[in-house]
Structure 1
Amino acid sequence: MNDVFYIAVLKIKKKLNVLSYSEKTELEKFQGKYSFINKVKIKNVIKGFDIYSKLDKDKAWESIENKIQEEKDKDVFIFYRKTMYKYAAVAAILVGVLMTIYYFKDIMFQNAVQVSPSIVNSNTVILPGTDKATLTLEDGSVVALEKGNSYHTQNAQSNGEEIVYKNKEGVDKDKFNYLTIPRGGQFLLNLSDGTKVWLNSETQLKFPVNFVEGKTRSVELVYGEAYFDVSPSSKHKGAGFTVLQKNQQIHVLGTEFNLKAYSDDSNIYTTLVEGKVEMQFNNSKQNLIPSQRADFDLKTNKVKIAKVDVYNEISWKDGVFSFEEKPLYEIIKVLSRWYDFEVVFQNQNIRNQKFNGSLIKDRGIDEIMVSIKNYGIINSYEFKNKTLILR
């Protein structure tokens, strides 16, 4: 029997970077067998411990496995009205409060829509995104990074899924590289100071090969979306960390936050997960606290601060797209970047209909579109040469 409490503890230890080698191996084996564990939301696991202690563990685990298998044969993109969202979110992406499913399974799964086979243009092949990126070196040369290919230099190495930089003596600290993620891609960058940056589809980041010890560490998000887990200043002689974007600057000492600045969006969104950041917009400054998002309107140069559900903003880095009260055109825009297709709304009336839903990123686009159609959001859809036509 799998001890869910123990697995939850391993997930928390991983979050705190205190996993032993044997524990890491054990967790990876478990994740390989039960991929949904990768979507676990740590804070909800913690809240679920009291419930867990009262359960028949064998019976509960059997129930979870049965429900997960059932859901594989159902919709992969489940939309819910707002009144059901708190249950839908748990059912679709949290499985993470693992034992809570045992109590709430009837409520959470009762409105799932049955999936029927979909028909996509036979000449169109649209696959989920994968780990891939283009690395542009200081001399202008370009290196393709993707699964199955390794890359090594004096101070960097990549296994095709991430690239890791190391601070080394003799490496020019004035040299910059660019990491560009295409549509249908994602990649993890480990900077030489220990900062981790998850890069979403259609994103470009400019960064130094090495940082100067004791001086402010600075990178530039040219465009796109990135999640930063910044190495604290205490490890770098008090040196802070700055993320530049053509319309704003973010100053941090050591924290986690998400920055979304796509070229085709009229707003820049900064969401703070942990710590504290100071944001500078033109001549004004604004501080954020955890669970706050700053929306900077590029047209008016005004900033709005609001409390948000952080998981909806950052779940993309963990393999899940989570939407709450999002209009259909925004949902489709996210999907188009990940699955690399264009979109045409022939029916303009459906563009702004708001829905709640979640999506595991490795599922096929045909399954997702059938779910949307079956829910009654659209009358019909068609793919033509990687263009999605919605009617």
Structure 2
Amino acid sequence: MKKLILKYLTNTITDAEQDKLSKWLSDSENQKIFEAHIKNDYYLNTIYNEDDLHKAYNDIWDNILKQEKDVKRLRTTPWLKYKYIAAASIALLISLTFIFNKDNTQISEPIIVNNNIKAGTDKATLTLDNGSVVALEKGQIYTSDNLESNGEKIIYKPVNTLKDQIAHNYLTIPRGGHYLLKLSDGTQVWLNSESKLKYPVNFVEGKTRKVELIYGEAYFDVSPSILHSGSKFKVRTNTQDIEVLGTEFNIKAYKDETNTYTTLVEGKVSINNAINTVILSPGEQSITNANDEEIKTVLVDIYDEIAWKDGVFSFKNKPLKDIAKVLSRWYDMDVIFIDKSLEKVRFKGVLGKNQSIEEILSAIKSVSINNYEINNKTIIIK
């Protein structure tokens, strides 16, 4: 249910999912779980006293009541207590406009010289086996032989292929983009900003299905082996090979990061770096490094690691330096820290990827930094 809660908070939930969440929350015990989750995980109370928070809740609630569509939704959703809606829906996700710091003084206004920063969208570059390059963008349709794209995803149709006839395509996602790929075996791959995947246009029946994440981040929902004559599925990165039988997992292997992170959501995967091998269980994350023979494993909050594919930034006490990398890729911009000590300051909150960069920065500014400046496509943190 944590996934549905996060999708609700970021306004990415479907009507069917909201009905499911509403039914779950009709139980009083589940309401307590919901409230505890919001308060403990996504309720930014670390720098505010109770008087400030009560004032913030009241101000935000008054603002919500002015919006007719929200009033209608809230009146038909009795299980949501007003202070948790206020804290989650606006205080965390929009800009914390109504929250004051401990001495009740408002924080200084940011400096906006010229804001040319836009949120990312569906876009990719498809490189065919013959070297041809095709730009895939939202709103544009492309079809060819056994593939078609509606501008938001690309789908390959299965065809009979001999082993010596396998052709490969490349899908490259730029900064400020993401894309969904459905391989010919039915496997779905969500590719994050600044990523590149190499894959066959079709798989040979009964043979191991192999793809290569050249760099970046990808979420795999693998079509089960039982549907493909028992053939395994393998993903290669620059530091490891991953073998699966039918599962869901996330790989993060960016060029500007030394570690490769693999997070298992469902099923079972084997991680091999040519020296050691580990088997992951759901909820575990492996960490590999080209300069380290050891494969480290840690327990993680799964949805925090994969929320990006559902249009969510879920930051759980992340250093601002790491958050800046994530934002830079999605908003295609650069971040400069004037005060280097701010890079280590940690932020906790849930934000929507469809929000403007000013809304994102306002939320972070309210709890973590003094001020910021936007100049064209550069953000200066002060």
TM-score (norm 1): 0.75
Pair 1:307 & 2:283 matched: no
Pair 1:350 & 2:342 matched: yes
The answer to which of 140-149 and 163-172 deviates more is: 163-172
Pair 1:132 & 2:132 matched: no
Q: Classify the secondary structure of the residue corresponding to 1:316.
A: helix
2:304, 2:236 → 1: CA distance?
24
Output aligned runs, 1:238-249, within 5 Å. 238-249=230-241
2:17, 2:289 → 1: CA distance?
30
Task: Kindly indicate whether the alpha-carbon contact (under 8 Å) linking 2:111 and 2:374 is maintained by their aligned counterparts in 1.
Answer: no
Counterpart pick for 1:218 among 207, 210, 218:
210
Pair 1:166 & 2:157 matched: yes
Q: Tell me the number of residue pairs that the alignment of Structure 1 and Structure 2 aligns.
A: 322
Pair 1:368 & 2:351 matched: no
Whichever residue aligns with residue 130 of structure 1, its letter is T
Residue identity (%):
48
Partner of 1:21: none
Counterpart pick for 1:155 among 137, 140, 146:
146
Q: Classify the secondary structure of the residue corresponding to 2:329.
A: helix
2:15, 2:214 → 1: CA distance?
29
Output aligned runs, 1:372-387, within 5 Å. 372-375=364-367, 377-387=368-378
Pair 1:205 & 2:179 matched: no
2:194, 2:87 → 1: CA distance?
37
Pair 1:37 & 2:37 matched: no
Partner of 1:52: 26
Gaps of 5+ in 1: 1-7, 12-30, 56-76, 84-98
Gaps of 5+ in 2: 30-41, 49-75, 99-106
Residues 222 and 82 of structure 1: CA distance in aligned 2, closer, same or farther (over 3 Å): farther
1:336, 1:109 → 2: CA distance?
28
The answer to which of 380-389 and 344-353 deviates more is: 380-389
Partner of 1:186: 178
Residues 158 and 103 of structure 1: CA distance in aligned 2, closer, same or farther (over 3 Å): closer
Task: Kindly indicate whether the alpha-carbon contact (under 8 Å) linking 1:79 and 1:358 is maintained by their aligned counterparts in 2.
Answer: no
1:53, 1:342 → 2: CA distance?
46
Q: State the Cα distance separating 1:218 from its structure 2 match.
A: 0.2
1:209, 1:319 → 2: CA distance?
28
Output aligned runs, 1:243-262, within 5 Å. 243-262=235-254
Q: Classify the secondary structure of the residue corresponding to 1:315.
A: helix
Partner of 1:227: 219
1:347, 1:193 → 2: CA distance?
50
Q: Classify the secondary structure of the residue corresponding to 2:13.
A: helix
Q: State the Cα distance separating 1:297 from its structure 2 match.
A: 3.2
1:39, 1:79 → 2: CA distance?
28
Task: Kindly indicate whether the alpha-carbon contact (under 8 Å) linking 2:336 and 2:381 is maintained by their aligned counterparts in 1.
Answer: yes
After superposition, the C-alpha distances for 1:5-46 in whole angstroms (9 at most, x for unaligned) are xxx9xx9xxxxxxxxxxxxxxxxxxx9xx943159989x967
Task: Kindly indicate whether the alpha-carbon contact (under 8 Å) linking 2:215 and 2:253 is maintained by their aligned counterparts in 1.
Answer: yes
Q: Classify the secondary structure of the residue corresponding to 2:292.
A: coil
Q: State the Cα distance separating 1:282 from its structure 2 match.
A: 2.1
2:193, 2:154 → 1: CA distance?
16
1:194, 1:247 → 2: CA distance?
26
Partner of 2:97: 114
Q: State the Cα distance separating 1:134 from its structure 2 match.
A: 0.1
Task: Kindly indicate whether the alpha-carbon contact (under 8 Å) linking 2:239 and 2:289 is maintained by their aligned counterparts in 1.
Answer: no
Residues 121 and 302 of structure 1: CA distance in aligned 2, closer, same or farther (over 3 Å): farther
2:281, 2:24 → 1: CA distance?
29
Residues 240 and 80 of structure 1: CA distance in aligned 2, closer, same or farther (over 3 Å): farther
2:377, 2:78 → 1: CA distance?
38
